[in-house]
């Protein structure tokens, strides 16, 4: 009985802590996810010593991140990926290449091994466009051309990021070889493309029959079954489970309009996702930043993460004027959940050290905090000069 009481207490502690810290950050117009990470840092074994992550916490966190990627996938329509346009694809591609190369090169120059360098590079790639989208919505400029480029690039960025994550996590499990890299890329790309081409057609064909089912809330039940089934399938072919969860959401994105799956999934998302961020935050040892070498590395890596997106995405958007290209670059700067996921997978595989994990979390938090005020200020000054839709 004590074990059950302890589990329930931990659930209360993590969830309440996440919501309290998230509320504080929302009130100062910063991402709630940063507050949830900081809640884990404060409650964890390195500050208040109230929460020490164990097997149960990691299982809960894994379920939370599966639901998180499924929810993101539901809002990523395949037809939008097909028509994001050359500008968005170019912005996404250069915005992935530049940060990866900068992170990987710096890691090798800092005497990290190749695997660790690849995880650092991968963690620097992904954009958390939710932060940027919220700002653009608040300023009522979602109809502007650069807004569409940023949102389109973020969709393409997610797909590229999922494939790179699959490659890097597989390499982290074994020996590095070019043959292994090629096979994993083919495997991951094949899995993604097959589901994009075939999966949504199958769902579209069978979705009208869902109405005839007698099961209570049948669309929700079938959506969760598909999410778990593709997560398991991804695991069996040695891809990260979250790749399968993301793809499940994406092939259901058309059905989402009819069945409002996002609204049905949202309570599950709101409940489970904070556990992932709090548990990940609890793994950050703030004491490592008292070492000047670690703090210096964290600051340099954060600078490279910002520069990589500004250069890569800015160059990809040079068909616009310099101000608009700059805004695109800044809009793609914030890192978020995917960067944390990459770091947590690397930590779980033993491919990255605790120091490197803490440095990556530092980079994610700082880029997420810095971007909103800078982007809001520049958009406020330049909004009248932005191109229309």
φ, ψ dihedrals at 60, nearest 5°: -65, -40
> What is the pLDDT at residue 254?
83
CB 103 within 8 A of CB 344: no
Instruction: Work out the average pLDDT over 66-88.
Output: 77
pLDDT of residue 1: 43
Fold category of 68-272+290-385 in CATH: Na+/H+ antiporter like fold (1.20.1530)
Q: Return the top range by mean pLDDT from 150-159, 183-192, 350-359.
A: 350-359
Q: What is the pLDDT of residues 328-350, one digit of tens each?
A: 899 889 886 778 888 888 888 88
Given this model, what pLDDT does residue 313 score?
Answer: 92
Residue 141 and residue 379 in contact, taking contact as beta carbons nearer than 8 Å: yes
Please state the three-class secondary structure of the chain as a single string. CHHHHHHHHHHHHHHHHHHHHHHHHHHCCCCHHHHHHHHHHHHCCCCCCCCCCCHHHHHHHHHHHHHHHHHHHHCCCHHHHHCCHHHHHHHHHHHHHHHHHHHHHHHHHCCCCHHHHHHHHHHHHCCCHHHHHHHHHHCCCCCCHHHHHHHHHHHHHHHHHHHHHHHHHHHHHCCCCHHHHHHHHHHHHHHHHHHHHHHHHHHHHHHHHHHHCCCCCHHHHHHHHHHHHHHHHHHHCCCCHHHHHHHHHHHCHHHHHHHCHHHHHHHHHHHHHHHHHHHHHHCCCHHHHHCHHHHHHHHHHHHHHHHHHHHHHHHHCCCCCHHHHHHHHHHCCCCCHHHHHHHHHHHHHCCCCHHHHHHHHHHHHHHHHHHHHHHHHHHHHHHHHCCCC
Q: What is the pLDDT of residues 219-263, one digit of tens each?
A: 999 999 999 999 999 888 777 788 889 889 989 988 887 888 989
CA angle 61, 65, 71 (to 5 degrees): 145
Which band of pLDDT confidence, cut at 50, 70 and 90, is reported for residue 104? very high
Q: What phi-psi label fits residue 363: left (phi over 0), alpha (psi between -120 and 50 degrees) or beta?
A: alpha
Q: Parse the chain into domains and list their residue ranges.
A: 68-272+290-385
Chain centroid to Cα 297, Å, comes to 22
Is residue 374's pLDDT more than 80? yes
Q: How far apart are CA 361 and CA 343, in angstroms?
A: 8
Give the C-alpha separation, 284 to 48, whole Å. Answer: 13
pLDDT at 73: 82
Mean of all residue pLDDT scores within the chain: 84
- Residue 303 confidence class, pLDDT cut points 50, 70, 90: very high
Lowest-pLDDT choice from 8-17, 70-79, 275-284: 70-79
At 319 the pLDDT is 83
- What is the model's pLDDT at position 82? 64
User: How many beta carbons lie within 10 A of that of residue 352, not counting itself?
Assistant: 29
Query: pLDDT value at position 389?
Result: 53
| Dist. CA 358–CA 290, nearest whole Å | 12
Evaluate if residue 49 carries a pLDDT over 60: yes
Which pLDDT score, from 0 to 100, does residue 320 have?
81
Give percent above pLDDT 90 in the chain.
Answer: 27
């Amino acid at each position: 009985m004590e074990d059950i009481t302890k589990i329930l207490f931990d659930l209360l502690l993590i969830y309440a802590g996440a919501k309290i810290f998230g509320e504080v950050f929302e009130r100062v117009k910063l991402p709630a996810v940063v507050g949830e990470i900081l809640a884990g840092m404060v409650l964890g074994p390195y500050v208040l010593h109230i929460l020490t992550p164990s097997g149960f916490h990691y299982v809960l966190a894994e379920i939370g991140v599966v639901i998180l990627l499924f929810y993101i996938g539901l809002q990523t329509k395949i037809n939008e990926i097909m028509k994001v346009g050359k500008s968005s694809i170019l912005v996404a591609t250069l915005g992935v290449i530049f940060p990866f190369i900068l992170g990987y090169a710096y890691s090798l120059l800092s005497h990290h091994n190749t695997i660790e360098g690849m995880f650092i590079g991968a963690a620097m790639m992904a954009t958390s466009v939710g932060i940027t989208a919220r700002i653009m919505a608040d300023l009522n400029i979602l109809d502007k051309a650069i807004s569409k480029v940023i949102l389109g690039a973020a969709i393409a960025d997610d797909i590229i990021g999922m494939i790179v994550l699959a490659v890097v996590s597989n390499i982290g499990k074994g020996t590095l070889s070019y043959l292994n890299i090629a096979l994993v890329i083919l495997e991951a790309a094949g899995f993604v493309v097959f589901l994009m081409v075939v999966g949504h057609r199958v769902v579209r064909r069978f979705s009208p029959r869902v109405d005839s089912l007698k099961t209570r809330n049948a669309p929700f039940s079938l959506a969760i079954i598909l999410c778990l089934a593709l997560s398991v399938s991804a695991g069996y072919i040695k891809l990260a489970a979250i790749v399968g969860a993301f793809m499940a959401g994406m092939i259901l994105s058309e059905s989402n309009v009819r069945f409002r799956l996002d609204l049905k999934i949202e309570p599950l998302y709101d409940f489970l996702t904070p556990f992932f961020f709090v548990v990940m935050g609890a793994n950050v040892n703030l004491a490592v930043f008292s070492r000047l070498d670690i703090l210096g590395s964290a600051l340099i890596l954060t600078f490279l993460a910002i520069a990589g997106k500004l250069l890569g995405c800015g160059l990809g958007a040079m068909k616009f004027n310099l101000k608009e290209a700059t805004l695109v670059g800044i809009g793609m700067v914030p890192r978020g959940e995917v960067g944390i996921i990459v770091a947590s997978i690397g930590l779980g595989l033993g491919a990255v050290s605790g120091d490197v994990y803490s440095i990556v979390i530092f980079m994610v938090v700082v880029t997420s905090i810095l971007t909103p005020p800078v982007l809001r200020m520049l958009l406020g000054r330049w909004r009248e000069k932005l191109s229309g839709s």
